[in-house]
């Protein structure tokens, strides 16, 4: 497929990105590669954590995780929905309600006052304002203009998300991972994320962690050059990706949002997600019926993506004059050219 789509005058990644993004005529989604080579947790899990600790953050026992790797992409790990079905709703609610409150930085597609931002989840037009949400930053807040982080632009990273991230990364061989920054992207049916590399973090030896919730998406994973042809795969609700080692700085993109293809719809999660079955959990909490009604309505046509990163290595400090990173692309809504913001934020 890559050979037939790549032409002279345009790199292969761009050509394939346009192919999957195109709507007239629509692409043949049977061409997608869904990773199918799996291994048990005993084969790949490096630093075993107890199942009790995993249950505290809403994860299944490690023996039930299905992990995938790709030949030729060292350090890339795809974990097919390790979440308990009765706990996905909690993380969805956190992304839509808890993490969108001050002091986090929210961006809507319209310029709005702080009071409007606080009312995203309030009684005044909750649906309208929530649908306008585009991104939120956590911890070290990303500067979209300079494409840098700084010590002066920082709020405490959410403890619950830190615990979840540590459990995933430790199982993948990174027990010292320190979640310092997070970027939440809110996708709608006509959204896409352009070709880019996540390189703004000062320490690239640490993995990049990505969580997906809601509608499905097409993910393109390329090489170290834009000319390298990417492979395509589905991302479904609950899927987790870890980009580490040589895969940490590969080009990637999200050209298309698709209806949930394998049953992970808001309606199917609703019946079993409102009250976690764990009685002694300290992280995952029950989601009220009122909150879940808002969440499920949003997920009917939208996707959430959370990327978590470690910005600084041990003993590392921010430079006095941060440099700008330019190997990024744009997130867009609708037709080509309707640019919303600079971004290097999705995995």
Binding site residue list for Fe cation: 196, 198, 252
Distances (CA, A) of 189 to 268, 289, 303: 20, 25, 8
In angstroms, rounded to a whole number, what is the distance separating the alpha carbons of residues 166 and 169? 5
HSE-CB of 122 using CA atoms within 13 angstroms: 8
Helix (H, G, I), strand (E, B) or coil at 36: coil
Sign of the C-alpha dihedral, residues 207, 327, 135, 311? Answer: positive
For residues 332 and 346, give the distance between their C-alpha atoms in angstroms, rounded to a whole number: 13
158 within 8 A of 183, measured Cβ to Cβ? no
E strands, 197-294, where? 208-214, 216-221, 231-235, 240-243, 252-258
The C-alpha atoms of residue 148 and residue 32 are separated, in whole angstroms, by 34
The backbone torsions φ and ψ at residue 119, rounded to the nearest 5 degrees and listed phi first, read -90, 10
Q: Say if CB 239 and CB 81 are below 8 A apart.
A: yes
DSSP secondary structure string for all residues of 37-100: -EE-HHHH--S---HHHHHHTTBPPGGG--EEE-TT-TTEEEE---B-TTTHHHHHHIIIIITT
Let me know: does 187 contact 256? Beta carbons within 8 Å.
no
Cα 312 from chain centroid? 20
User: Phi and psi of 147, rounded to 5°?
Assistant: 60, 45
How many Cα atoms are found within 13 Å in the side-chain-facing hemisphere of 181?
A: 29
Phi, psi of 144 (to 5 degrees): -70, -25
Q: Please state the residue numbers annotated as binding site.
A: 196, 198, 252
């Amino acid at each position: 497929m890559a050979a037939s789509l790549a032409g002279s005058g345009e790199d292969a990644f761009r050509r394939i990105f346009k192919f999957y993004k195109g709507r007239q005529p629509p692409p043949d989604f049977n061409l997608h590669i869904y990773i199918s080579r799996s291994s048990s947790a005993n084969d790949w899990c490096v630093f075993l954590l107890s199942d009790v600790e995993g249950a505290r953050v809403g994860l299944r026992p490690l023996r039930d995780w299905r992990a995938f790797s790709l030949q030729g992409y060292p350090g890339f790990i795809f974990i097919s929905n390790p979440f308990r079905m009765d706990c996905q709703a909690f993380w969805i609610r956190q992304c839509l309600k808890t993490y969108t409150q001050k002091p986090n930085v929210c961006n809507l597609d319209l310029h709005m006052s702080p009071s409007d931002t606080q009312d995203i989840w309030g009684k005044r037009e909750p649906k309208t304002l929530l649908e306008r949400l585009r991104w939120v930053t956590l911890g070290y807040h990303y500067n979209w203009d300079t494409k840098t982080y700084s010590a002066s632009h920082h709020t405490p990273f959410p403890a619950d998300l830190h615990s979840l991230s540590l459990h995933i990364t430790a199982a993948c061989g990174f027990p010292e991972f320190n979640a310092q920054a997070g970027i939440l992207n809110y996708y709608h049916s006509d959204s896409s994320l352009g070709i880019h590399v996540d390189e703004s973090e000062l320490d690239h030896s640490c993995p990049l962690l990505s969580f997906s919730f809601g509608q499905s998406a097409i993910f393109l994973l390329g090489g170290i050059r834009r000319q390298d042809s990417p492979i395509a795969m589905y991302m479904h609700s609950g899927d987790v990706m870890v980009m580490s080692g040589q895969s940490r700085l590969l080009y990637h993109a999200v050209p298309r949002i698709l209806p949930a293809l394998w049953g992970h719809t808001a309606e199917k999660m609703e019946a079993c997600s409102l009250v976690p079955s764990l009685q002694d959990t300290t992280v995952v909490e029950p989601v009220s019926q009122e909150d879940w009604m808002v969440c499920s309505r949003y997920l009917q046509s939208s996707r959430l993506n959370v990327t978590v990163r470690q910005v600084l290595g041990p003993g590392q400090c921010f430079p006095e004059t941060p440099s700008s990173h330019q190997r990024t692309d744009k997130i867009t809504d609708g037709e080509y050219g309707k640019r919303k913001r600079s971004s290097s934020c999705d995995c």
